[in-house]
């Protein structure tokens, strides 16, 4: 008990001290109180009540990982199961086997999410505790794992409930995680030491987008889903493209919000010698397609000892500012070699520039800008990745970085393995044909011309036709094959090849009349990877002739302009160029020089691309739940749209008929209330409404059609003498009325009562009295038609 009370006293005194200390922007106390001797260790050594077999409190790391990724950030949650709660708490992270007596005993760093709930403990800065003691069932903090080589880590929590403190060295308030061991030849997580590898290495990075409606169905944007153009670089430690806990540059902001890589590429190229290769891939619309329809995009890049890191990012579109990517992936191994392969699943991260919570949230700038952080499943209930249990987000993409060549003398002490060395020097083996015997194809057509006529990456295609499928249960592989390519003279397979830009337009002729000289230039896009000197020319000159006749009477014209693009995209077409009259002949004669020149042009051979479509989907549900509606079914292109046009319908619509919709009973408005049915004493009045349409097809039944309410007039005289006198007075009154009627109106007798409007459940009957004869001296009011109403068949149905 004394341990409990001392612990409560420690926590309370610390809480009071904390509330008097202001916070800095970095979520640390501005003036941290001196650390009490052994204060943290006293917290850790204190032992309170331990309830065996009852897990009412739980410390959870998002995704429940068994191992941590060095320097990665995780969301840590402390949860109380209903109906339990806690008032105070402490969360701390220790290296396994350490007592917490020294600063180096603590592992990683905590980050505050909500200052109203959590703050750093003043007398034990590595620990996180409550801001104010109150009832709570959940708190959250971020924890950044320690760097590589830190070993196993113990995350511990203590709970203060009323005056009782719960510690658990084993169980739901303790989480043990060890560092994720990299596979042999795998990249290190962060560059800890300078790279000691020799020569250079060439890599291919391939991006596989897994963001699809099937895997991520919540609020999936069907129409506009895509990955933006990918941008990245191989670079040195001096350059950071993006990183968790950092702030987005203007370029990263443009990628994250607009999907535009232009500004980021400018920022990368401004880094000069800190960047070796700029990595670029085209945007992908839609975000996901089967690999037999669209090959995964890839790009190649190089690394060397100084620039051995690789970073990239691409935007998920549409989204507020969400991206995926790698940050400072180190491709240099501790054994002074080059990583063979990296495979990394990617989850989206927030650039900290827009506060939207869903794919298509309206633009809402985050002011001030926040730090880059990974998205989590507990960010917001409207988030498409929300999970109230805090489970891990399903990866939206996978990236594969694979070494394809090594150049120059290698100095790694331990060779990777024999197979790996052979793979570097041996040509690629031809892929085995995996076509099933039950699929009969034609031969492959010749490769088409490259889609790029420049040194930019393009693709070429070949195709074959499926002649017969002998076994319908065995699927036949694709009938199209694609291969990356570049324009003529741009191949980089040879290490000594200079990557040159296109020639810049010819300069104007040095002479305006007669023979002169003109020149054009190009520049080196990438020097040979083996370090040799680039010997290809960067400048060309040639003679040019303008206006062969230079007499005063000559017609002087300008040089020919550039050729217009060919009028055809494939096969034969026409192209033209023009020039203009510079000076007309001085003698006034007409200028006979040719002003327009037209020539034939030949583009790559046209290939007819078959229209490949998926089978029709199942019919959708009817658009209505009853009555007449419509239903649809759809199919998709299996071949890329840019390879040919297809006029086939992608959607079909047909009518559908479901059982008739229920029709509720329809009634008229209520009539006015009738007169009271008594001349004295207590009576009642009625009002009615009519049924305009009976219910059909199970519609709601008709409501009541007769309502009554009480009415009360003067009291009636119930004595016999009074009754007799009353009857006498009534007879006298009627006699007087008859005498007056001789000078007014003569009324017909009352009509018979009409039939009851209902057989049961309360109906109404009516009867009328009308004037039979009207005298000249009669008043209009005395001849007015009158009506009486009474209830009938009031017994229930």
Residue-level pLDDT at 8:
44
Residue partners of 163: CB distance under 8 A and separation at least 6 = 4, 5, 8
CA distance 176 to 156: 9
Distance CA 451, CA 484 (A): 9
State the pLDDT confidence band at 370, using cuts at 50, 70 and 90: very high
Best-predicted range by mean pLDDT among 98-112, 430-444, 511-525? 98-112
| Residue 780 pLDDT exceeds 50 | yes
pLDDT of residue 52: 47
Highest mean pLDDT among 111-115, 431-435, 506-510, 627-631: 627-631
Token pair of 107 as six digits = 């592992």
Q: 427-446: string of b/e by CB count within 10 Å (b at 16+)?
A: eeeeeeeeeeeebeeeeeee
pLDDT tens digits along 197-235: 888 899 999 999 989 988 899 999 887 889 999 999 999
**Tell me, what's the pLDDT at 417?**
43
**φ, ψ of residue 73 in degrees (nearest 5):** -105, 135
Cα–Cα distance measured from residue 446 to residue 675, given in angstroms and rounded to the nearest whole number = 100
Residue with more model confidence, 774 or 698: 698
293 vs 591 pLDDT, higher one: 591
pLDDT of residue 277: 92
Residue 253 — very low, low, confident or very high, per pLDDT cuts 50/70/90? Answer: very high
Any idea of the CA torsion for 484, 525, 342, 396, to the nearest 10 degrees?
-70
Q: What is the pLDDT of residue 679?
A: 77
Tell me what the mean pLDDT of segment 120-135 comes to: 84
User: Using 50, 70 and 90 to split pLDDT, how confident is the model at 527?
Assistant: low
Query: Look-up: residue for tokens 């169980």?
Result: 171
pLDDT digit string, tens, across residues 403-436: 988 887 777 644 444 334 434 443 333 444 566 7
Predicted confidence at residue 733, as pLDDT, reads: 63
Lowest model confidence (mean pLDDT) among 178-182, 204-208, 355-359: 178-182
Contact predicate 301/295, CB 8 Å: no
Report pTM: 0.41
The DSSP output letter for 49 is B
Q: How confident is the model at residue 286 (pLDDT cuts 50, 70, 90)?
A: confident
Handedness of CA 160, 162, 163, 169 (dihedral sign): negative
Residue 642 has pLDDT above 50, yes or no: no
Mean pLDDT of 581-586: 78
Query: What does the pLDDT average to over 502-526?
Result: 78
441 and 435 in contact (C-beta within 8 Å)? yes
Q: What is the DSSP string of 220-285?
A: --TTT-EEPPEEEEEE-TT--S--TTS---HHHHHHHHH---HHHHHHHHTTGGGEEEEEEE--BS
Interval 253-258 mean pLDDT? 93
3-state helix, strand, coil in the chain (%, to 5): 10, 35, 55
Among 329-338, 421-430, 730-739, the least confident range: 421-430
Longest dimension (CA), the chain: 150
The mean pLDDT value for 293-300 works out to 86
Instruction: Say how far apart CA 72 and CA 346 lie, in whole Å.
Output: 13
Q: What b/e readout covers 490-514, taking b as 16+ CB neighbours within 10 angstroms?
A: bebeeeebbbbeeeeebeebebbbe
Within 8 A by CB and 6+ apart from 39, the residues are 10, 123, 124
Distance CA 526, CA 456 (A): 13
Percentage above 70 pLDDT, the chain: 75
Which has more confidence, 275 or 441? 275
Quick one: pLDDT band at residue 264, thresholds 50, 70, 90?
very high
Higher pLDDT, 549 or 518: 518
Mean of pLDDT values over 232-253: 93
Q: Work out the percent of the chain whose per-residue pLDDT is above 90.
A: 18
Average pLDDT for the chain: 77
Which of 141-155, 508-522, 638-652 is the least confident region? 638-652
Q: Is the pLDDT of residue 351 over 90?
A: yes
Give dist(CA 753, CA 787) in Å, integer: 11
When pLDDT is cut at 50, 70 and 90, the band that residue 163 belongs to is low
- Of residues 259 and 471, the one with the higher pLDDT is 259
Lowest mean pLDDT among 477-491, 510-524, 533-547: 477-491
pLDDT for residue 586: 75
Q: Tell me: the pLDDT tens digits for 541-581?
A: 888 877 777 776 678 888 787 788 888 877 788 888 888 88
Least confident of 1-10, 420-429, 730-739, 779-788: 420-429
DSSP 658: -
Q: What pLDDT, on the 0 to 100 scale, is given for residue 745?
A: 72
Inform me whether the pLDDT recorded for 387 exceeds 70: yes
Which carries the bigger pLDDT value, residue 613 or residue 579? 579
- Of the listed ranges 451-455, 457-461, 705-709, the one predicted with least confidence: 451-455
Helix (H, G, I), strand (E, B) or coil at 591: coil
Is pLDDT of 612 > 60? yes
- The confidence band for 742, taking pLDDT boundaries of 50, 70 and 90, is low
Asked whether the predicted pLDDT for residue 622 surpasses 80, the reply is yes
Q: Among candidates 176, 112, 179, 125, which has minimal Cα distance to 147?
A: 179
Report CA Rg, the chain: 45
Q: Note the pLDDT of residue 736.
A: 61
pLDDT score of 14 more than 60: no
Q: Tell me, what's the pLDDT at 164?
A: 58
Instruction: Express each pLDDT in 50-88 by its tens digit.
Output: 554 456 788 888 767 888 888 788 888 888 887 788 888
| Dihedral sign computed on CA atoms, order 325, 331, 334, 340 | positive
Q: Are 754 and 731 within 8 A, CB to CB?
A: no
Instruction: Give how far Cα 68 sits from Cα of 144, 145, 147, 155, 717, Å.
Output: 10, 7, 10, 12, 100
């Amino acid at each position: 008990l004394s341990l409990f009370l001392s612990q409560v006293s420690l926590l309370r005194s610390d809480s009071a001290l904390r509330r008097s200390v202001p916070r800095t922007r970095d979520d640390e106390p501005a003036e941290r109180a001196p650390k009490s001797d052994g204060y943290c260790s006293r917290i850790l050594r204190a032992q309170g009540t331990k309830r065996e077999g009852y897990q009412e409190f739980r410390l959870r790391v998002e995704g429940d990982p068994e191992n941590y990724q060095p320097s990665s950030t995780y969301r840590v949650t402390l949860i109380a199961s209903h109906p339990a709660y806690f008032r105070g708490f402490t969360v701390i992270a220790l290296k396994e086997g350490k007592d917490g007596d020294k600063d180096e005993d603590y592992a990683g760093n905590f980050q505050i999410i909500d200052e109203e709930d959590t703050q750093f403990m003043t007398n034990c800065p590595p620990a996180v505790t409550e801001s104010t003691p109150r009832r709570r069932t959940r708190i959250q903090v971020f924890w950044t794992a320690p760097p590589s080589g830190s070993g196993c880590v113990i995350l511990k929590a203590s709970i203060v409930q009323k005056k009782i403190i719960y510690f658990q060295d084993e169980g739901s308030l303790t989480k043990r995680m060890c560092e994720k061991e990299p596979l042999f030849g795998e990249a290190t997580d962060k560059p800890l030491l300078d790279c000691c590898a020799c020569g250079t290495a060439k890599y291919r990075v391939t991006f596989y987008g897994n963001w699809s409606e099937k895997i991520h169905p919540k609020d999936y944007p069907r129409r506009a889903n895509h990955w933006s153009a990918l941008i990245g670089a191989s670079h040195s430690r001096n350059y950071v493209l993006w990183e968790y806990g950092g702030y987005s540059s203007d370029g990263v902001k443009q990628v994250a919000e607009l999907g535009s890589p232009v500004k980021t590429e400018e920022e990368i190229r401004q880094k000069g010698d800190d960047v070796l290769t700029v990595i670029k891939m085209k945007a992908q619309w839609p975000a996901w397609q089967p690999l037999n329809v669209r090959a995964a995009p890839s790009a190649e890049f190089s690394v060397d000892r100084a620039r051995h890191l690789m970073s990239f990012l691409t935007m998920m579109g549409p989204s507020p500012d969400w991206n995926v990517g790698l940050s400072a992936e180190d491709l240099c191994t501790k054994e002074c070699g080059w990583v063979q392969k990296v495979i990394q699943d990617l989850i989206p991260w927030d650039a900290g520039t827009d506060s939207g919570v869903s794919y298509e949230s309206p633009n809402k700038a985050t002011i001030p800008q926040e730090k880059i952080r990974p998205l989590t499943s507990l960010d917001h209930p409207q988030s498409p990745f929300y999970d109230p249990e805090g489970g891990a987000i399903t990866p939206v993409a996978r990236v594969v970085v694979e070494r394809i060549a090594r150049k120059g003398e290698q100095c790694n002490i331990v060779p990777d393995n024999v197979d790996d060395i052979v793979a570097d020097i041996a040509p690629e083996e031809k892929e085995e044909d995996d076509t099933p015997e039950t699929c009969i194809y034609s031969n492959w057509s010749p490769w088409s011309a490259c889609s790029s006529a420049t040194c930019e990456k393009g693709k070429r295609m070949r195709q074959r036709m499926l002649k017969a499928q002998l076994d319908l249960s065995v699927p036949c592989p694709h009938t199209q094959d694609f291969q990356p390519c570049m324009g003529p003279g741009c191949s980089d397979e040879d290490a000594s090849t200079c990557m040159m830009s296109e020639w810049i337009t010819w300069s104007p002729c040095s002479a305006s009349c007669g023979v002169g000289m003109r020149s054009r230039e190009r520049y080196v896009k990438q020097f040979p990877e083996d370090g040799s000197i680039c010997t290809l020319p960067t400048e060309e000159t040639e003679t040019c002739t303008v206006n062969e006749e230079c007499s005063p009477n000559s017609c002087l014209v300008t040089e020919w302009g550039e050729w217009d693009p060919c009028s055809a995209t494939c096969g034969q077409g026409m192209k033209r160029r023009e020039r203009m009259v510079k000076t007309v002949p001085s003698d006034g004669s007409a200028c006979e020089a040719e002003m327009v020149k037209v020539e034939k042009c030949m583009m790559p051979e046209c290939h007819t691309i078959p229209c490949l479509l998926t089978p029709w989907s199942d019919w959708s549900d009817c658009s209505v739940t009853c009555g007449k509606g419509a239903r649809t079914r759809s199919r998709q292109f299996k071949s890329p749209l840019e390879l040919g046009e297809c006029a086939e319908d992608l959607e079909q619509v047909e009518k559908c008929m479901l059982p008739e919709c229920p029709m509720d009973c329809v009634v008229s408005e209520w009539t006015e209330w009738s007169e009271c049915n008594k001349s004295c004493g207590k009576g009642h009045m009625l009002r009615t409404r009519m049924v305009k349409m009976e219910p059909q097809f199970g519609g709601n039944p008709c409501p009541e059609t007769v309502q009554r309410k009480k009415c009360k007039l003067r009291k009636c005289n119930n004595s016999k003498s009074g009754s007799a006198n009353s009857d006498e007075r009534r007879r006298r009154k009627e006699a007087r009325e008859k005498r007056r009627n001789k000078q007014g109106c003569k009324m017909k007798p009352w009509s018979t009562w009409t039939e009851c409007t209902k057989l049961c459940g309360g109906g109404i009957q009516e009867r009328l009295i009308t004037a039979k004869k009207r005298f000249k001296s009669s008043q209009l009011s005395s001849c007015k038609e009158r009506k009486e109403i009474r209830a009938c068949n009031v017994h229930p149905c």
